[in-house]
Every structure is written in structure tokens, then in C-alpha cells.
Amino acid sequence: MKRPNPSELPPVILWFRRDLRLADQEAVAVAAESGAPVIPVFVLDEGGGSSARPLGGASRWWLHHSLNNLASALGQLGSGLVLRRGPAAEILPALARETGASAIHTGFMPDPSERAADRAVTETLGDGGCRLHRHRTTLLHDPHRLKTQTGKPYGVFTPFSKTFEREVHVRPPAPTPGRLPGAELPPSERLDDWGLLPAIPWDADMAQEWTPGEGGAAARLDRFVEEAAAHYATDRDFMARPGTSMLSPHLHWGEISPWQVWDALDRAEGPGGVAAYRRELIWREFAAHLLWHHPDLVQNPLREEFQDFPWREDKRGLRAWQRGQTGIPVVDAAMRELWAIGWMHNRARMIAASFLVKHLLIPWHAGEAWFWDTLVDADLANNCVNWQWVAGCGADAAPFFRIFNPVLQSKKFDPDGRYIRRWVPELARLPDAHLHAPWAAPDDVLREARISLGRTYPKPIVDLAEGRARALAALDTVTARQR
């Protein structure tokens, strides 16, 4: 049977979202295999019909560069990228009418606003002949599929991971299509007109650290597999070591698929490190599963008894934490790393988050909002689930009474002080014995290191023992109501 000439077929729209790649991208593959002319499009939908949460500053920076990269890659396949801004429920049906498209192929997104956008696009398309087709492009499984034996969603990670390993088949990744059937592309907005890049150039360190786009993701994965994956289980906790993958922003933006990562780990030596990293990939799936079944995670704790937890309003404390000026060196190092490169080591995230919600008793929502604005990997599911985990109010959460001592954490996971000295250089001259708690150093040691507490470096904004006691007292008010 003769295959139809692409010029005789109505075009199909390829709607990119947080899956900004061409390799191992099911929506791309299906559109390419349709034989119809393909119209690639990205819609910037912030606060439109889907009530999408506006992107943070670091995410906007990343998105600008990733879209540039994607447009270039599409050009190499003989295509291009159409940019439109506005509610997806208005933009896509209008584009379908404008081009006569018969189908829209897109990724399957777990976030509530994106699910709402899918429903709105489908409703607006109606029975006009153009249909929305969703494909799995960002996750290893469909987040609504796995259930407990009683038919309920999982709330504990270990049984979820066991079911995942038993039931989810992780397939080998697919290559980039050789070409996309050409189409006459409709007019596009200019990326530079979207204003995604910062007006004040605070992004210099991010530009040095990251290469957004599919090529940067592949290079980062290769480096991790060759240099760090085998020792991941032990090295991942040490904040100054290159022991983590730093793939989180590439995975969030879909510049690499979790299938590609999972498959590439087979090349790494050291099964312990590979198993530990794959467990982190499954945690990412668990977070998506939780958000799917609890779409209000960004506002409400999963554990209802924390709904009325006696959080404190402390604007000065929050500002000091955001700026890395708490007087606790490891916390300040973590927050300055975040501001500089839009990313923070995972162990440092737990220490900094625990300090905010427990020693300062500031609501986890405030920390989640700051991470949303400053992380290049700001993922709604991961961000909310992990903050609730630290705050003791989420699924499978660490108990609230488990309060990290930042000094002990610092001594254990930055024993030679390299992490602190990099990000808090005003403390660099302190000897290791006093670096983690400069307020306890003798006056002559501080003078020798050219440190004046309260002037060249802050005094602690909270006494750690008092902060711990205050947190436990707050917890008592919650547990008392449960008795």
C-alpha cells in the first residue's frame, strides 16, 4: 500500500512542555512516524487558564537557554520551534484551526495545573477533528497506576519502591528521529521578547556551572557514570565531593529521560552505587505519585495534625536564611551555593531545610517558595514532597522530633571544611576545629583568623539548643491534641 505523501496529510502539532529533548521522546517519535508535517510548538502558560504557578527566576533562566538549544536541534532535523505565550487552552486550539492540524501530541505531565491545561485544551478542541494525544515523556511510570493491595495510593516509600521494581518495566531508550516531516510553520514569537533572562545579571555563576539543553544533559550523565556513579552510595552525602549526578535540572526540564539515565547506569562499575542512584530515581516517581493523588500538596500537609502547627512569623530570620547570613556556617554555605548556581547539594538541602522549619520554626511553605524561585531544578512534586518530608508532615516523613544538629552534620559531611570555605570565604582562615561553630572559638583564634563575630560574620541568629527545645515544645502542642 502506498504511503501518503506528507504534503497531502494535515499537519500534527508537537507540543513541548517539560520534555525539551528529541531523543527518547515518545511524543516526538509518534509525530515523526505519523508521516504528517510536524509543527513543533512551546507555549509559555503562566497563570493563564491552567492557573499555572509562575516560574521562579532560576527556572526562567534555564528555560530560555533550553528553548534556544531545542530550536537549534529542531533546525538540524529540518524543522523549527514555534513559540506562543498565553493560556494553552486558547493558544493550542487556535493554532490547530490556523494550521488545520489533525492532532496534538504532547507529554503526560503530573502537575495539577498541567493536568488542568490538558482538560481545558481537550474541551476547547471539542469535536472539531483535532485530538490531544498524551505520551509518557518525563516519568518511568504512570503516576496513577500503582496502588496498594486495598486499591489506595501509596503513602510510604519502601512498599511503593518494591511494587515499582516488580511491576514497572524500564524499557531501553529510543534514538532521535532522523528527521521531522517538514511543515510550513506559522509565525512565532521571539524568545528574547519573553524576558526570561534577568535584568540584573546575577546569573554569571549559573552560566559557568550549567549547560542547559539535551547536549549538556548527555555530557553530565556521561561524566557521572564514568566518574562518580560507582561510589554514589558513600560519596553522595559529602558536600564538597563531586559525588552526585547534578542531573536534577536536566531531568526536571526533560532534556534527558529517566529511561536514558536508568539504562546508562548499566555502564557504571559498582552495583551498590547504581542501586542507590536508581532508588533516587524511584523516589522521584514516588513524589509524582503523591502529587497526582494529593494535588494540594503545595498548600496542605499530608498529615492533617500539622494543619494547625504553631509556626512562627520571623521575617528577619527568613531573610537571614535566604541570604546565607544565619551565623551557622554550613547553613550559610548551602544558601549561598543555592544563590550562586541555582542548585544545592542534597545533604545541604536537608540541613538548611531542617534549620529553617525546626530551629527557626518558620513554615516549610516559606522554604518551598524560596527554593521554587532559586532552584534551576524547581520541580513541584519533588519540592513539596521533600519539604514536607523534612518538616515531618508529609508522606513517609522523618519524625518532627528528629532535628538535625547542623554542627554535627557539618563535621560529619564536610570534615575538612572545603564546602564551607568555598561558599563562606570569610571563615576560610579558621582551623578545622573551630570552622563549624565559630561562636565557640577562643577570642585569639578569631583574631588570628581576622573574624569579628557580628561584624565580619554574623553571630548565630538562634541558639541551637534553645531552637531545638522550642521546636520540641511546638511539637508537644500538636501531639497533645492527638491524645
Active site residue 387: yes
Active site residue 280: yes
Report which secondary-structure segment, H or E, holds 134: strand 131-135
- Angstrom distance (rounded) from CA 476 to CA 472: 6
What is the average pLDDT value for the chain, to the nearest integer? 94
Rounded mean pLDDT, 328-352: 98
For the chain, how many residues are written?
A: 483
pLDDT at residue number 404: 95
Given a cut of 70, whether residue 249 has pLDDT beyond it is: yes
Positive or negative: CA dihedral 38, 135, 133, 86: negative
Given a cut of 60, whether residue 261 has pLDDT beyond it is: yes
Q: Taking the complete model, does pTM exceed 0.85, yes or no?
A: yes
- Angstrom distance (rounded) from CA 12 to CA 434: 64
pLDDT at residue number 8: 76
Active site residue 339: no
Mapped onto helix, strand or coil, the DSSP state of residue 16 is: strand
pLDDT at residue number 127: 84
pLDDT at residue number 7: 57
Rounded mean pLDDT, 77-105: 96
CATH number at 304-482: 1.10.579.10
Rounded mean pLDDT, 333-346: 98
Rounded mean pLDDT, 77-92: 96
- Angstrom distance (rounded) from CA 20 to CA 191: 15
E strand intervals along 191-339: none
Instruction: Identify the weakest region by mean pLDDT among 124-133, 189-198, 208-217, 346-355.
Output: 124-133
Given a cut of 90, whether residue 53 has pLDDT beyond it is: no
Q: What is the DSSP letter of 82?
A: E
Instruction: Identify the weakest region by mean pLDDT among 252-266, 386-400, 425-439.
Output: 386-400
Rounded mean pLDDT, 203-213: 97
Rounded mean pLDDT, 186-199: 96
Q: For 361-385, how does the pLDDT look when each residue is reduced to its tens digit (9 = 90+)? A: 999 999 999 999 999 999 999 999 9
Catalytic residue among 68, 280, 405, 426: 280
Nearest one of 399, 2, 431, 6 to 182, comparing CA atoms: 6
Contact status, residue 104 vs residue 131, Cβ threshold 8 Å: yes
Contact status, residue 91 vs residue 186, Cβ threshold 8 Å: no
Mapped onto helix, strand or coil, the DSSP state of residue 13 is: strand
Model confidence at 48, in pLDDT bands (50, 70, 90)?
A: very low
Nearest one of 76, 268, 65 to 176, comparing CA atoms: 76
Catalytic residue among 283, 292, 321, 370: 283
Q: Please report, for the chain, the start and end positions of each structural domain, with discontinuous segments joined by +.
A: 6-138, 139-172+205-293, 304-482
Backbone phi and psi for residue 229, each to the nearest 5 degrees, phi listed first = -60, -40
Cα 363 → chain centroid: 20
Active site residue 311: yes
pLDDT at residue number 34: 94
Q: Is 453 left (phi over 0), alpha (psi -120 to 50) or beta?
A: beta
Catalytic residue among 68, 300, 346, 405: 346
pLDDT at residue number 443: 97
Given a cut of 90, whether residue 50 has pLDDT beyond it is: no
Work out the number of other CB atoms within 10 angstroms of the CB of residue 198. 14
pLDDT at residue number 49: 42
Active site residue 69: no
% residues pLDDT > 70 (the chain)? 97
pLDDT at residue number 94: 96
Q: Which CATH superfamily is domain 6-138 in?
A: HUPs (3.40.50.620)
pLDDT at residue number 363: 97
pLDDT at residue number 51: 52
Q: For 440-469, how does the pLDDT look when each residue is reduced to its tens digit (9 = 90+)? A: 999 999 999 999 999 999 999 999 999 999
pLDDT at residue number 5: 52
% residues pLDDT > 90 (the chain)? 89
Looking at the domain 139-172+205-293, which fold is it? Answer: 1.25.40
Contact status, residue 111 vs residue 139, Cβ threshold 8 Å: no
Instruction: Identify the weakest region by mean pLDDT among 33-37, 118-122, 397-401.
Output: 397-401
pLDDT at residue number 271: 75
Nearest one of 414, 212, 249 to 338, comparing CA atoms: 249
Active site residue 321: no
